[in-house]
Structure 1
Amino acid sequence: MKYNKIEINGTKINWLNIKWLRFMKEDPDNILFKYNFEEDFRKMKVTGSGKRGRPIEKTKELPRKYTGKQPISQAKKKDLLNLCKTKIISSEYHDFYKNLSSSNNVADNLPEPDVEEDDTDSETD
């Protein structure tokens, strides 16, 4: 990245006074910034130096791996709905969990633990 000293409108940028930086996915060539929280965002252009390092490429659009929602296992959905019923999950989220798609063909995949686990519960000792 090239060190920017001037905003898009030609005003000098005071880097030490910037309070807020915003990077927008839709506008990767610019950085928005504010000197205080009450003002509107200002804009600076971001350019590559072209002299050192890797050449800058535009971000490539990655292909979607899935075209629709992925189902969860029946057991997981049952557990989530039980958490809703016991009010551990707030009622405002119940519709989301009730509408999750589930399937008997989906296997629950738990990550491997970092340490050895034994069959006894530590609280019952």
Structure 2
Amino acid sequence: MEKLSPFHLAIPVDNLNLARDFYNNTLELDEGRSSDHWVDFNFFGHQLVIHHKQKSNSDTAHHNSVDGKEVPVPHFGIILEWEIWQNFANMLSEKNVKFVIEPYIRFKGEVGEQATMFFCDPCGNALEFKSFKDPSQIFSK
């Protein structure tokens, strides 16, 4: 795989202070620039920006069934190294993060074996953190 460029992702949050605390203290991300309406974070080398947006009554959750589990859509996240993912999952469990889908292993012993977990930030943005046992299989069928 060639060297990846950092991505930039901006997401809405209806409570900037609560979201800022979550990304700073729960996920332990370093904060970058900020204003009264947005905050930058170093999301594992990528730029994540939370932007304040009033909650709308039309904001509804959607899920797709995958492996018999209800996967929230949309969601975003990162693919971590196997051991880093394990440590991160343990840290989140110790911090009593409420998982939408508890950490588990998919395709155990098969092509594309991966660890995954889903949870939401306090404003309802769904995140998936995953890891591949063999990173060269990220796009394998």
Shorter-chain TM-score: which interval? under 0.3
RCO (CA 8 Å, sep 6+): is it higher in 1 or 2? 2
Q: Which has the larger radius of gyration?
A: 1
Name the one with the larger strand percent. Answer: 2
Q: Give the structure-1-normalised TM-score.
A: 0.21
Q: Give the structure-2-normalised TM-score.
A: 0.19
